[in-house]
Amino acid sequence: MRKPTPYLFFTLILLLIACGGRSEPRLYSVGGSVSGLNGTLTLLNNGADDLVITADGSFTFPTKLLDGSSYDVTVKQAPTTQNCDVSNGSGTVSGADVSNVLVSCAGKTWHLPASLADYLSVAGGDADDPQVALNAAGDAVVVWEQYDGGNLQIYKAELKGGSWSMPTDLTDHLSVAGTDAENPQVALNAAGDAVVVWQQKDGDSHSQIYKAELKSGSWSTPADLNDHLSIAGTNASNPQVALNAAGDAVVVWVQANPGNLQIYKAERRGGSWSVPADLTDALSVSGTTAFYPKVALNADGDAVVVWEQHDGSDWHVYKAELHGGNWRAPADLTDYLSVAGTGADNPQVALNAAGDAVVVWRQSDGSHWQIYKAERQEGSWSVPADLTDHLSVAGTGADKPQVALNAAGDAVVVWTQLGRILKAELHEGSWTTPADLNDQLSVVGSAAYEPQVALNAAGDVVVVWKHSDWSHWQIAKAERHNDSWTTPEGVDDHLSVAGTNADKPQVALSATGDAVVVWRQDNDAGFFQIYKAEYR
């Protein structure tokens, strides 16, 4: 037999090494299919590996997994007008590619009251002044005032995990029993914490500002009528509240100071409240009366407070700013946002995370009330050049401005003018205003009043108002999605229940595009009750 040559021997060694060496482990893909998608969808696998999908069809995550690995497919972000549900989304890789994950998307819809008996408030007492707050998780808090048989009290309803909880009876309220409580306001943050404020008579027959707080799922309410934010001894009213993701809060109100009314504040920082030291510790300028404060607060803890105050000749719109932990108030009565020469009132304010702010108000142009604005961008304020520099349509009176501002710096302002709901929009730094009085959101020929607006980071907008259906006042809406507006098709296109009068609408809109609208309506059984509609 022939002896193996060195070449054959070397080849044999290589073959033996190859046969005895370790092979690379096999990896398997995870994927499936999407149906019904209208927009952009982002999926996650095991909380990572972002996959952006823009059309129906099959998908595969870029990262493959080892045999025996677990997978868990979830929706990171769906189109704000859709709900996207995952089935077959979790399991274990078993020696083959996973291709049976199913993602089904469908459009969100409005869910309206089934009847006049379908309300949030408690049967047996008149309810009024609803307010609503909503966060990205879909949690909501609604507050209102209602007569308990002896006094007005403050009540709440909560949406948590898709389910509503309402008061059990007329004794189930946030306010202190025994005196009248009214004018509730609510703020809610991403963590699900909330602050509710209201005004209520104390034991000395002065109206004071009270609060209730929701933290980690538990509510704390005032211990007694002495447990208030405002200064004892004079009347306080018109509270407003803002709350951010860190849990910081700012509450503002009006309170009687010897000789006039002033604007005061309380703050919660790091879980602790600070309140005014005394009646000299005001935001507004001493010496004249100030009314109707509004407050906005952003994620950095910066805030803007606005109010109306008399300068000795006219009412004007003033502001105070919180930045870097320091408050800056007006230098004197000439330090205002509005235009000199005529009266201004009804200020509103919105503030975003970048520190941009928009303030709107009503002011006479010498002949009619018009809607004006001031803006803060990159720390600098711009104000109207003169009385002709307004958002509303010249020649008729405008009223009740409201403003919303998002993280991109876009804004929407709404108001009522000649019984119509009009809007102005700020997009990419440019304002568009109504071409004329026919450039309206409301139904042509139907009187419309009491507009409210909400705007989210995606640019979705919901505007609500009351309009006449020729027999009763109803709650109507307009929506902007994907830069396109939809408005009511007619007077019968409304959220409220036909047959009785509805008014005082409020709206909240989440980052995911869900919305909650609340209002007051006659239940046709002798009482006003609080109703809701949901877009989800």
Q: What is the CA radius of gyration of the chain?
A: 29
CA distance 175 to 443: 40
CATH fold for domain 27-107:
Immunoglobulin-like (2.60.40)
| Three-state secondary structure of 335-351 | CCCCCCCCCEEEEEEEE
* 334, amino acid identity: T
Cβ proximity of 239 and 251 under 8 Å: yes
Q: What residue spans define the domains of the chain?
A: 27-107
CA distance 401 to 413: 7
In whole angstroms, what separates CA 183 from the centre of its chain? 19
Q: What pLDDT is recorded for position 530?
A: 99
DSSP assignments along 497-530, one per residue: PTTS-EEEEEEEE-TTS-EEEEEEEE-SSS-EEE
CB atoms within 10 A of CB 119: 23
DSSP conformation class of 206: -
CA distance 220 to 156: 13
DSSP β-ladder status, 380-382 and 369-377: antiparallel
In whole angstroms, what separates CA 29 from the centre of its chain? 40
Which are the contacts of 108, defined by CB distance < 8 A and separation ≥ 6? Answer: 81, 82, 83, 513, 514, 535, 536
CB atoms within 10 A of CB 274: 11
99-153 residue pLDDT tens: 999 999 999 999 999 999 999 999 999 999 999 999 999 999 999 999 999 999 9
Cβ proximity of 95 and 67 under 8 Å: yes
Backbone angles phi, psi at 7, to 5 degrees: -65, -45
CA distance 451 to 415: 6
The residue whose two tokens read 């870097």 is: 324
DSSP conformation class of 421: E
What 3-state DSSP class applies to 324? coil
> Quick one: which of 71, 60, 123 has its CA closest to 94?
71
Q: Is the dihedral of CA 56, 60, 62, 68 positive or negative?
A: positive
CB atoms within 10 A of CB 85: 13
Stretches in the chain below the pLDDT threshold 70: 1-23
The residue whose two tokens read 């119509």 is: 420
3-state helix, strand, coil in the chain (%, to 5): 5, 50, 45
Q: What is the layout of strands, in order, in the sheet containing 473-481?
A: 448-455, 461-468, 473-481, 484-486
Cβ proximity of 508 and 515 under 8 Å: yes
CA distance 378 to 395: 34
In this structure, what token pair is assigned to residue 445? 């020929």
DSSP β-ladder status, 528-535 and 326-328: unpaired
Burial of 24 (0-12, 13-18, 19+ CB in 10 A): exposed
Q: What pLDDT is recorded for position 218?
A: 98
E runs forming strands in 62-193: 65-66, 70-77, 82-87, 90-92, 98-107, 110-111, 127-134, 140-147, 152-160, 163-165, 181-188
399-445 residue pLDDT tens: 999 999 999 999 999 999 999 999 999 999 999 999 999 999 999 99
E runs forming strands in 166-314: 181-188, 194-201, 207-215, 218-220, 236-243, 249-257, 260-269, 272-274, 290-297, 303-310
> Quick one: which of 420, 410, 419, 487 has its CA closest to 454?
410
Using CA atoms, how far residue 523 sits from 82, 112, 126, 141, 249, in Å, is 32, 15, 10, 22, 35
> Quick one: which of 375, 329, 377 has its CA closest to 355?
377
Q: What pLDDT is recorded for position 526?
A: 93
